[in-house]
Amino acid sequence: MKISHGREEGGQSVRRTETVTGEMWGDPILHEVGDVGAGDIVVNSVFFAPRSRSHWHRHDGAHVLFITQGKGYVGNTEGTASVTAGDVVFCSPGEEHWHGAAPDSFMQNTTVTVGKTTISMTKPDNRRRRRNSQSHRPYARS
């Protein structure tokens, strides 16, 4: 058993620039805990400034986003969906996806990632995001 009390003393938020458009900050909550078959478990608190989003990426294991504040979008190869505080997004192992803040809002989320992350340098397409966010909600609440 391992208990994490949040950010380590003296730790600082990390600004990530090479794998996002815009501005994203991350705080590690729990890193590299145990082997669960697909690799270690990593938990982060992530803040996206308005209009900021990740590049396309995938994870060897499952990836879960708990949207804690603000609003944003998540997308996969089938389309894009809007998300707001309280939503939970599950990405299957190997599923290519991206996520980020809406144009008029920041988005903060807690992520749980199992295994290695592979990041593409390809940025999500704005036109596709706008078109699909109005018509296709693969992660919509039921």
SS3 (DSSP) at 134: helix
42: CATH: 2.60.120.10
142, pLDDT greater than 60: no
- Residue 133's H or E segment, with its range, is helix 126-135
- Asked, for residue 11, whether it belongs to a domain, the answer is no
pLDDT, tens digit, for every residue of 67-113? 999 999 999 999 999 999 999 999 999 999 999 999 999 999 999 98
Q: Which domain holds residue 71?
A: 37-135
* pTM attached to this predicted model: 0.78
DSSP states along 86-131: T-EEEE-TT--EEEEE-TT--EEEEEEEES-EEE-SPPPPHHHHHH
128, pLDDT greater than 90: no
- Asked, for residue 1, whether it belongs to a domain, the answer is no
Count: domains in the chain: 1
Q: Sorting pLDDT into bands at 50, 70 and 90, what band is 114?
A: confident
- Asked, for residue 129, whether it belongs to a domain, the answer is yes
- Asked, for residue 49, whether it belongs to a domain, the answer is yes
- Mean pLDDT over residues 8-17, rounded? 76
**Residue 85 pLDDT:** 97
- Asked, for residue 2, whether it belongs to a domain, the answer is no
- Asked, for residue 142, whether it belongs to a domain, the answer is no
